Amino acid sequence: MDGNGRWAQQQGKVRVSGHKAGVESVRACVTTARKMGVKALTLFAFSSENWLRPEQEVSVLMDLFMYVLTKEVKRLHKNNIRFQLIGDKSRFSEKLQKQIVEAEQLTKNNDAMVLSVAANYGGRWDIAQATKKIAQLVADQQLDIDSIDEKLLDQYINLADLPELDMLIRTGGDYRISNFLLWQAAYAELYFTETLWPDFNEVAFERALMSFSNRERRFGKTGDQVKAEKT
């Protein structure tokens, strides 16, 4: 969800106002995803590198996160949406960590859609923490090293309980995925748009979904093979 700060600057406002405006786009995308039958939606809210931003901006982001957890989660629950946070929670305040747990507990039995929010998250961290867990199993002699393969590692990566990642959307005009879901995005369709996040509304999201529906997904096969399998 990129472009909040630039959007605010274009409006002649301080950067933090862009993050507040971005909350409306979150609502629009969650609503659209639910309406379109999307089963899992993951939003990159705060990367492990974002701690390097100005202290005031980080503080506002944490306050916004707390607001969403206390207010918006009730709306998610009402719409049968399960909430979960992925990332290293240890750096957040105790109060915020408590709110995260409460939000996850409140919505844990909902099954219409899973909304995952990545906060203090990084794709490299994700792979490293999965590797660490597997290494500990080997050290404890609970796992043979020859048993380690992609399928095993996949079980310890975040979002392992969700369907394969189909599409990764990057707003804001940059053509990179910035350490987001590196493992999960191996065969995902990538969609880049110049639209800044606060302007990424329902229409923009539906346009991205339409682009996805028109793509041929081959997964290493030829186009002819894919066509033959569909006939």
Closest of 102, 98, 73, 104 to residue 86, by C-alpha: 104
Please state, as a whole number, how many other Cβ atoms lie within 10 Å of the Cβ of residue 29: 23
Q: How confident is the model at residue 70 (pLDDT cuts 50, 70, 90)?
A: confident
- Predicted TM-score (pTM) of this structure: 0.91
Q: What is the pLDDT of residues 11-45, one digit of tens each?
A: 999 888 998 899 999 999 999 999 999 999 999 99
Q: Give the pLDDT confidence score for residue 44 in this predicted structure.
A: 94
Amino acid at 122: G
Q: What's the CATH superfamily of 4-215? A: Decaprenyl diphosphate synthase-like (3.40.1180.10)
Query: Would you say residue 55 has pLDDT above 90?
Result: no
Q: Give the pLDDT confidence score for residue 218 in this predicted structure.
A: 76
Q: Which residue, chain included where needed, has tokens 């080997």?
A: 138
Phi, psi of 120 (to 5 degrees): 50, 50
CA distances from 123 to 96, 183, 200 (A): 22, 7, 24
How high is the mean pLDDT of the chain? Answer: 92
**Of 38-52, 59-73, 104-118, where does mean pLDDT reach its minimum?**
59-73
Q: What is the pLDDT of residues 120-148, one digit of tens each?
A: 999 999 999 999 999 999 999 999 999 99
Q: What is the pLDDT of residues 182-231, one digit of tens each?
A: 999 999 999 999 999 999 999 999 999 999 999 887 777 787 777 777 77
Distance separating alpha carbons of residues 202 and 184, to the nearest angstrom:
25
Q: Quick one: average pLDDT of 167-184?
A: 97
Catalytic residues: 2, 50
